[in-house]
Chains A and B, each alone.
Chain A
Amino acid sequence: MTEPRAALNLIGKPFRRVDGRAKVTGQTRFADDLTFPRMCFMRLHRSTVPHARIVEIHLEKAEKMPGVLGFLTGEDLPVSFGILPMSRDEHGLAVGKVRYVGDPVVAVAALTEEQAEAAARAVEIEYEPLATISSVEEALANPEPRIHEHGSGGNLHRKKSMIFGDLEQGFEEADVIFEDTLFYGGNTHLAMEQHASVAVPEDDERVTLYSSTQIPHYVHRALARVLELPASRVRVVACPNGGGFGGKSDIMNHEIVTAKMALVLGRPVKISLTREEVFYCHRGRHPMLMHLRTGFGKDGSLKAQHLKTALDGGAYSSYGVASTLYAGALQTATYELPRYRFDTLRAFTNKPPCGPKRGHGTPQPRFGYEVHLDKAAHALGIDPADLRLRNLAPAGLITANWLQLSSVGLGRCIEAVVEGSGWRRRYGKLPHGRGLGLACGAYICGVGLPLYRGEMPHSGVQLKLDRSGGVAVFCGQAEIGQGSDSVLAAIVAEVLGIELADIRLVVADTDLTPVEFGSYASRVTVMMGNAAYDGAQRARELIATAVAERFEVDSERLVFAESRVFDAEDPEKGLSFAAAVAIAETRFGTLGTTGSYRPPTPPGRFQGSGVGPSPTYSYSAAVIEVEVDPATGLFDVEHVWIAHDIGRCINPALVVGQVEGSVYMGLGEVMMEEQAFRRLPPRLSGALVHKTPSLLEYKSPTFRDVPPVTTYLIEEPDPAGPFGAKEVGQGPLLPIPPAAANAVFDAVGVRVDQVPIHPHMILRALEDKARGKEGRFGPAAFPDVDFPRNLIVPTPAEGGDGTALNDPRSQKQAGRQAAKEKPSAASAPV
C-alpha cells in the first residue's frame, strides 16, 4: 500500500484540517452545546465516603425540591457493564455499596440544572463504613474487606507472571546485572471539555445518546446490554470530543444513567459534568511501582530482563486487565531483548478507577526502562545513545514475547536527536546545573485483537458516490481533536484524486455509520485508514472499469488526479471526476462501496498474548535539556528535541501538532501533574479524598511553562499503514519523562527515580550525595509478592511456536486459529 511520494496529490502536504473552520468559528457542536425541545437536566449524587455499604437512601427531602422530575438508583439499573467482557464490574449507579468518593449513587432529573443540583444535594444516604485501601501496599496487606468479589484474591484484581525463554540462561550469559526500583505517580487526562451527554427517547423503546465519547461502538453495546434493549434500538452519536487522551474511552456511568432517565421520563435529558466529577471519572494513568533486573554483556548487549510492576488500579476494573499487561508488553519493541520475564499485579483501591491515558500502561515501564538503561550506560562507560543503538530491534523481528515488528525507524530517530541536540559534544560536559538526557519509546498503531471476541472487521468505512461528484464517507470513528476526520477524508480524496471540499463525512453515529471500534490504542490512522483506503480503492475500481470501457483503454492506465480521470499516456483523454462517476452510475446503478480492516493474526498464542500485538509500531527518541537550580531543586526544561518515526505523514502539520502535544503532556507528567489523594487522620475520620480535583490545584503546564520543541519526522513508509503511515498521537509522549529524569542526572549528578520530579526530591538527593550517601530519591523496594510461574513461553529464537508450555488454553486456541487463518475480510460493492 505504499506509493512513492511523487505520485501523491494530497498526502504528505499540510492542509487545513477538514473541521478546522468549524472549530475556529464556534460552529463545532460539543455534547454540552446540544439542546432539544423539552430537554431536562440530570445530576448525580455521588458517594461522599470512600468505602461503605449503602444502608438506606433517603429521597424524601429531595423529592420535595422544586422542578424535580424523577430519580434513579442502583435498583433501576441492575445489569452490570465494563469495557472488557471479562470484568464487567460497574453499574450505572451503586448497587449495595460504594467504592470511592465520587461513586455515583442517585440520579436526579429536574427542569433546570440548578434544580437538579439542589435536589442532588438534598439526597441523604446512610452508610455503613468499611475499611479502606489507598495503595498497592495496603491492598497486599489487607485482603479483607474486599472491594470486589472477583479478581485474583483479596484486593488484588490481577496477578500474572509470563516468562519468555530461559531466563536463568540469559542472566548466566550476562557479564553484569543491574537492578532498579522506580515509581511513576498517577495522573489524569484533564481534557478541557468536561464530559457531557444528552439522551433523547425516540419512538417506543428507542433511545439516542449524544455523548463526548471516544468509543461510540462500545458505549452502544453497553447501553443495549444494560437497558436490556436490542442493539438495533439504541443509537449512540459521538460528538466531537473536546479532548480525549483516553479519558473518554471507557463506558461512563453518566452515559448509561442519562439514557435510562430519558427512557423513564420520555423526554430528552442532559448531563454536563463538573470539573470535579471529571476527576472522579478518571480512567487515567495508573500509579505504578516497578522493579527492573537486567543482564548486560560488557559491550552493553542485552541478555535478559525481569520486570515486575505493581499497579494501583482504583475502585473498578475498567481496562485494568489490559493495562496490567501493557505494563510489560512493549518493553521488547525497542531493543532486542532475547529473554524476558514479566510479573505484574493490579490492586483494587478506594479511589477513582485508573485506565488508559495516552500511552496506556506503557509510559511507566518505559520510564523505568529508559532510566535503568541510562544508569547501566553510565556504569558500563558506554554513551547512552550508543547503548541503545547497539541493541536496536531490527525491522521484522518477532520479539521474545511474540510481537511481530514491522518497520523500525528508531535508529534514525536516535541519530536525529543526537545530531540535533549536539549530544556528542555536549552530553556530560555541560556546566553543573545544566544537563542533557536521552530516552526512546515505541507504541502500538492499533491492536491485534478486539476487546470482545469475534472475527468481524475492526474498522469499517462506507462510501456513497453519485453524479454530483461529491463523495460521502461514513465511518464510526470519533474525532477527538487528533485529526481523525482529516485522515479519513484525505485518504479517500487521495485515492479518488479529488479535493477535500468534495468529500462529506458522516462519522461516529451507530445508526448511520459502519462499526469502527473507536479512537483509542492509536488505531485511527492505521486501522480506520486502511479501511478507508480499501473502500476508496473499490470505488476507484468501479469508476475505472466503467471509464475504461467507455474510452476503450486498459483500466490500469487510468489516473485519478486533479478531480479528473484520464489516460496516463494521453492526459487529454479524460473527463471530470463527476462525469466519470456518472458513467459508473450508468454502468452499475447506484454506487456505494465498503472498506474493512482486520489486523493480521499475531504470532503469539498464549494467554495474555492479545495485549501488545499491533499491525506495526511507531518509534520515538528524545533529548531533553534541563537547567536545575542546585540551591532549590527547581528545574526548568530548556529544550526538547524529538524525532518520531511516523512511517509517512498524512498531514505533516497535524503530525507535528500531535508530537508537540505529546511532548507537552509528557512534560506535564514529569514536572507537575499528580492525581494525589489524601487520608485524614484515621482516629478522627475515615475520609480518603482526591487532594486537588480542580484545574487550579491539579497542575497542568501553562503557555509559560513549556520549552521550545524541535520536531523531526522520520518518514520510512511502513507496509502495514495506509500510504505507509503509522501513529503519532501517543508514542511521542513515551520518551519525555525518562529523558527529563536522565537530564536531571546529567545536570546535577543525582537520580530521581520517580515521576513527577518535585524540587524537594532533587534537593534531598543532592544533600544525601553531599553527605556521602547515594544521590538518589525514589522508592526503596518492590513489595515481596509471590508471583506464580504460571506461563512459560519459549521465544522464537529458542524454536518456540508462540504457545506456552503450560497453558492449557493455548492448545485449544492453536487449533482454532489454524482453522481460521485467512486474510483480512474482503467486502464487495453494495
Chain B
Amino acid sequence: MTHAMTTLTLRVNGEDHTVAFPAHHTLLEVLRERCGLTGTKHGCELGECGTCTVLVDGRAVLSCLMLAVETEDRSIETVEGLMDGNRLHPLQAAFADLGAAQCGYCTPGVLMTSKALLEADGDPSEAEIREALSGNLCRCTGYHKIVQAVLWAAARLRGEDSAPSAEVFYGSPPPGQEASSSSSSEAHDDD
C-alpha cells in the first residue's frame, strides 16, 4: 500500500521547515524525525503524560495527538525556540538554577506549558501553576522545584528581582539546631 507523501511548510519557532511526510504522521514525529528538532520528547504517545507538549498558536497541545498536516499555516513553538540569541529565557534560567530539570526529559514539555501559562497570566499563584502543569508528569522532582522556578521566572518577566527563599536552595534550617548552612541564597546570573 503506497500513500503519497504530503509536502508542506511548517513554521517552527519562526523558521520555515519544508518537509515531506506521510499524512498520518503526528507533529511529534515530524518535528523529531523530519525537522531534526529532537528537543521535543515523548513518554507515551497517547496523550497521557504531557512530555511532548509544544505550543501551536500559543496554546499548549500534545504533539503526539496532532497530525502535522493540521499545523500548516500555524505558529509552532518548541523548546529549541525559547532562547533569545544565546540568552536563556527566564524560565530556562530558573529551571537550570533551581534543579527544576533533573533528568531533563519532561523539561521541554513543562517549559512550553509554563510559557503558555505565563503569556496568559504573568502573575500566577502556586495553585494556578499546579493546575496549568497538571497534565505534565515528572518523576524526578516531586514538582516542587518546578513550581518555584515558574514563580521565579514570572517575577523576572514582570521585572521583579525576587529570588526564591533560602529554603528552596538549602532546605529549611533544622529547628532547634545550629544553622549549618549559610542562610542567604545567591541570586544567579542569567547565563
Does A275 have its Cβ within 8 Å of any Cβ on chain B?
yes
* Smallest CB separation, A696 vs chain B (Å): 4
User: Given that A21-B96, A26-B40, A657-B99 are contacting pairs, would A191 and B139 also be in contact in the complex, using a CB cutoff of 8 Å?
Assistant: yes
- The interface residues of chain A lying within 8 Å CB-to-CB of B92 are 21, 24-25
Interface stretch (choices A282-290, A360-368, A414-422, A624-632): A414-422
Output the nearest chain B residue to A19 by Cβ-Cβ distance. Answer: B104
Which of B4-12, B67-75, B128-136 forms part of the interface with chain A? Answer: B128-136
Asked if residues B171 and A695 are in contact (CB atoms below 8 Å), the reply is no
Give the residues from 3 to 27 in chain A that come closer than 8 angstroms, CB to CB, to chain B.
12-14, 16-17, 19-27
In the complex, the answer to whether B105 meets A415 with C-beta atoms within 8 Å is no
Contacts of A241 in B (CB 8 A): 103
Q: Is the CB of B44 closer than 8 A to any CB of chain A?
A: yes
Of B38, B91, B95, B181, the residue contacting A12 (CB under 8 A) is: B181
In whole angstroms, how far apart are the Cα atoms of A649 and B99 in the complex? 14
Say yes or no: A419-B79 contact (C-beta < 8 A), given A192-B106, A649-B181: no
Q: In the complex, A13 Cα to B101 Cα: how many Å?
A: 18
- Chain A residues near B129: list those with CB within 8 A: 703
Contact residues in A for B169 (Cβ distance below 8 Å): 14, 652-653, 656
Instruction: Classify chain B's interface size.
Output: 35 or more
Q: Is the CB of A652 within 8 A of B181?
A: yes
Q: Tally of A-B residue pairs with Cβ under 8 A?
A: 230
Q: How many residues of A contact B (CB 8 A)?
A: 72
Residues of the B chain whose Cβ atoms lie less than 8 Å from the Cβ of A32: 38
Judged by a CB distance under 8 angstroms, whether B61 is at the interface is: no
Is there an interface contact between B180 and A715, defined as CB atoms closer than 8 Å?
Answer: yes
A193 at the interface (CB under 8 A from B): yes
Chain B nearest CB: distance from A662 CB in Å? 8
Closest residue on chain B to residue A24 by CB atoms:
B92
Q: Complex: how many Å from CA A30 to CA B38?
A: 9
- 1/0 per position for A406-420, CB-CB distance to B under 8 A? 000000100110011
A298-333 vs B, CB cutoff 8 Å, 1 = contact: the mask equals 000000000000000000000000000000000000
How far is the CB of A729 from the nearest CB of chain B, in Å? Answer: 10
Contact B170 A14 (CB under 8 A): yes
Q: Are B171 and A713 in contact (CB under 8 A)?
A: yes
Q: Please judge, given known A-B contacts A25-B80, A242-B103, whether A704 and B134 are in contact too, CB under 8 Å.
A: yes
Q: Does B186 touch A at the CB level, under 8 Å?
A: yes
User: Given B32, B107, B131, B147, which contacts A24 in the complex, CB threshold below 8 Å?
Assistant: B107
Residues of A within 8 A of B14 (CB): none
- Give the chain A neighbours of B143 by CB distance below 8 A: 664, 703, 706
Whether A653 lies near B99 (C-beta < 8 A) is yes
| B39 close to chain A: CB less than 8 A | yes
Contact, CB under 8 Å: A419 / B96: no
Tell me how far the C-beta of A119 lies from the nearest C-beta in chain B, rounded to whole angstroms: 14
15 new A-B contacts at CB < 8 Å, known A416-B176, A419-B175, A703-B131: A17-B101, A23-B95, A23-B104, A192-B51, A193-B105, A242-B41, A243-B102, A243-B139, A412-B174, A652-B171, A657-B145, A702-B137, A709-B144, A710-B167, A713-B181
Can you list 27 contacts pairing A with B, beta carbon distance less than 8 Å? Answer: A13-B186, A17-B96, A17-B101, A20-B99, A21-B191, A24-B93, A24-B107, A25-B83, A191-B105, A192-B138, A192-B139, A243-B105, A275-B44, A415-B177, A416-B177, A420-B174, A420-B175, A481-B140, A652-B171, A653-B169, A660-B141, A660-B144, A664-B141, A665-B142, A695-B44, A703-B131, A710-B172
Closest 7 A/B residue pairs (Cβ): A26-B39, A481-B103, A664-B142, A242-B105, A23-B104, A20-B96, A33-B38
- Taking Cβ atoms with an 8 Å cutoff, the residues of B that contact A are 32, 37-46, 48-49, 51, 78-80, 82-83, 88, 91-93, 95-99, 101-108, 111, 129-131, 133-147, 167-177, 180-182, 185-186, 188, 191
